[in-house]
A = this chain, B = another copy of it.
Amino acid sequence: MTIDPNLDATQIRQGVLHLSRRLRAEKADNELSDGQFSVLACLYRHGAHTLGGLAEHERVSPPSMNRTVNCLEGSGYVERAADPTDGRRVLISLTPEGHDMVARTVVQRDAWIDTRLRDLSPEERETLTRAAEIMRRLATA
């Protein structure tokens, strides 16, 4: 593997990281940490998870995730339920409030982008949309 990245890669890294940092500031509840929101987003996108599954998905230890879930439960955004298929497991799912809060954040972020897309030319807009698809592919590679 080469250690000599070219300018394209540098430009792309900067563009992606800067824009993402800006986007991540757009949240419907600014009291939530990034980690907390990430858990909610995962549940929103993929549905209920076991606590261990969440820990694995977020790449943290189960005790850490238990801590995070405790706070989210306290905020009324998630609830715990016993897994009917395995008495050791705990299923975590979004409450209606949690679902609503994530949805509002998604809308807020999309609106943020949408507003700024209006200042772009149709070509620039299409460039971004095309790039988005490519980025999605890269992220899962």
A residues contacting B by CB (< 8 A) are 1-3, 5-6, 8-24, 34, 106-107, 109-111, 113-117, 119-120, 124-125, 127-136, 138-141
Question: What residues of chain B lie closer than 8 Å to A130, measured between beta carbons?
Answer: 124, 127, 131
Is chain A's interface secondary structure helix, strand, loop, or mixed overall?
helix
Question: What residues of chain B lie closer than 8 Å to A17, measured between beta carbons?
Answer: 20, 23-24
A113: nearest chain-B partner, CB-CB: B9
The answer to whether A18 and B120 touch across the interface, beta carbons within 8 angstroms, is: no
Known: A13-B113, A15-B134, A16-B20. 15 other contacts (CB 8 A): A2-B115, A5-B110, A5-B111, A12-B131, A13-B106, A13-B110, A15-B131, A15-B133, A16-B132, A20-B21, A34-B34, A113-B138, A124-B130, A124-B134, A131-B132
